[in-house]
Amino acid sequence: MSDASITIPGVSDGTQPELTWINVAIGLAFILFDIGVSSIFKLGIGISLLVSALRCIGQLAVVATILNQVFEKKNPWMVAMICFVLNLLGTFETVVNKSARRFQHMFPVVLIGMLGSTIPISITGAYFAMSIRPFWTPMQYIPIVGMLCGQTISGIVVAVGYVLKELQENRDKTEIYLAFGATRMEACRPIVVQALKLALTPPINSMSVLGIISIPGMMTGALLGGASVQQAAKLQMIIMFMIVASTTLASVFTSLSAVFIVVDEEHRVRSERIFGKSAGLFKFSKNWSAKNAIAWVKKKATHHPPPPPPKEEEEERLLMHTLS
């Protein structure tokens, strides 16, 4: 499938009508209708609807301006920068706005999970499944990464949220397993399994109803852009498979990271490493400032492990730890 044969939303054959800001204003009338419904039923979400709609307009206008320049220049480094920014913004949205609970060092963990899932899967899918040459062609690759980021966020929020909820509210169950000699992975395995099931349920349900109950946005955009129905359907199949794979990989990584951070190497549940939404941003900025990062590196570089304790002291320490 060459660059000319694959069509991503935004590629038009010249027959589509030219949309103006007047058309956008007409579309905004649907939001005004929702605000009216909110006022009638006293839902209290009218302001949120209006702010979200204005954010949508502003963000898409800025993105369209930036992507227009990237599409014209076709610079691989600019494509890489845009993809990194998408993952960075997705991480910020996940940690700051979407997550009700957070764990220590959550921001870098989620960023690594996002980059480690969306980038390899998008490269593999674009090069092998879609046969795009070069795979980083901006018109195709950037929308693919954007869709993967959007869907991966939901999986991470669901998986990590469930893990932290269980470790905080039902920590007694985990501590019973640990008290009977289970490792932290053995004790938390049921939590991780259930978290992954919850995270993967939405994409699985989406795959099961595609083409029968709903026509997905990617396929609709490709059709509006001038692609044939068969090409649009095949394109949507590949994108959907990539979304599920990216969501799975990111959810597994972030869930396991949450377990290994909250349950330390001594197999203790450290509930103080879980904090709510109000305190999360403060703790993140405190733990991950440039000054603290440099101090941490210096400490690790100059740290020398203490000599092993005598056998008698070690046995006494183990006995006291067992009794406590």
Interval 166-204: pLDDT, tens: 999 999 999 999 999 999 999 999 999 999 999 999 999
Q: How many CA atoms lie within 13 A of 125 on its CB side?
A: 27
Question: Is it the case that residue 120 has pLDDT exceeding 50?
Answer: yes
Nearest to 231 by CA among 6, 3, 4: 6
Residue with tokens 């669901």: 158
pTM equals: 0.78
Nearest to 125 by CA among 260, 258, 267, 241: 241
Task: Give the tens place of pLDDT for each residue, 215-244.
Answer: 777 787 777 777 788 988 898 999 999 999
Mean pLDDT of 285-289: 50
Query: Collapsing DSSP states into helix, strand and coil, what is residue 6?
Result: coil
Query: Collapsing DSSP states into helix, strand and coil, what is residue 275?
Result: strand
Question: What pLDDT, on a 0 to 100 scale, did the predictor assign at position 292?
Answer: 59
Question: Is it the case that residue 265 has pLDDT exceeding 60?
Answer: yes
Mean pLDDT of 48-59: 94
> How long a stretch of residues is the chain?
324
Q: How far apart are the first and last CA of the chain?
A: 65
Question: What pLDDT, on a 0 to 100 scale, did the predictor assign at position 9?
Answer: 40
DSSP track, 31-65: HHHHHHHHHHTT-S-HHHHHHHHHHHHHHHHHHHH
Rounded to whole angstroms, the Cα distance separating 52 from 31 reads 10
DSSP 269: B
- Chain-centre distance for alpha carbon 25: 31
